[in-house]
Amino acid sequence: MIVVTGGAGFIGSQLVAGLNQAGREDLIVVDNLSNGKKFSNLAANSIADYFDKTEFREMVKNRHPLLEHVEMIFHQGACSVTTEWDGRYMMDNNFTYSKELLHFCLEKSKPFIYASSAAVYGVNTTFAERVENENPVNVYGYSKLLFDNYVRRHGFAADSQVAGLRYFNVYGPGESHKGSMASVMFHFNNQLQQTDSVKLFQGSHGYQDGEQLRDFIFVEDVVKVNLWLKDMPSVSGIYNVGTGSANTFNQAANAVISWHGKGQIEFIPFPDSLKESYQSFTQADMTGLRRAGYDAEFTSLSDGVNTYMEALNS
């Protein structure tokens, strides 16, 4: 059996779908369905069992006999709300929980593939997986970095696979429950359905209106990296998962507008509250993952947006 934590969430549910497509239905999904809307992400997928996160943590703590059948864990479960400042909650959910699963896998010599985040880099211009580039600006990013560093100290001496994936700006089907944390493509689509315009920030941090840059990656590419690692158990490490190319918010907005065949961009004032913590530029350095052997191409922004708009508006 394969465990997918956060399996009802955005990336987790798409990973479950990808495992189904690869012929695996012996899946245990772990999540917290306090937000019941997430059920729809799992409805079309085939799984063997479901456990609430709290129950599953107890099972891991007590080494429940069922877990003897676990082949590997994809740990996608986390609080990904970058504006959450309850540090105690964030550290328990993102750091302590991750440690519990890591040590279970190390003890049982089972592969452990987990979600990290580009938030570990903070406001930066260099995005390679090195300590000197890591400077998170919120407690979410800190919780992810703390666990990455814990893995660096405790995980790579093991004889089983441990891989951390620093996701950049992921977009695609399955994110509607995320509210304000959903991708800009999701919000652009909603805005165009309600009005004839999409809203972008005015210029900031030396960038002109809407010219701030992000490395947008389609969720299907993220799933492919996870599944590749599953088939490459000798590959361990912490790797960026982006496309390696940055696109402006103007380009993202225009891709959505082009698909709809209507709309214009409206620039709104840049919020004072974000001036010290806003990533005006992200671009994954993909050298590490490429060196590890991953050679698949990444979906272009236009192709990814078109596929996503078809899914959102079908």
Which residues does the annotation mark as catalytic?
Answer: 140, 178
Asked if residue 173 lies in contact with residue 219, where contact means CB atoms within 8 angstroms, the answer is yes
Asked if residue 29 lies in contact with residue 133, where contact means CB atoms within 8 angstroms, the answer is no
Asked if residue 244 lies in contact with residue 172, where contact means CB atoms within 8 angstroms, the answer is no
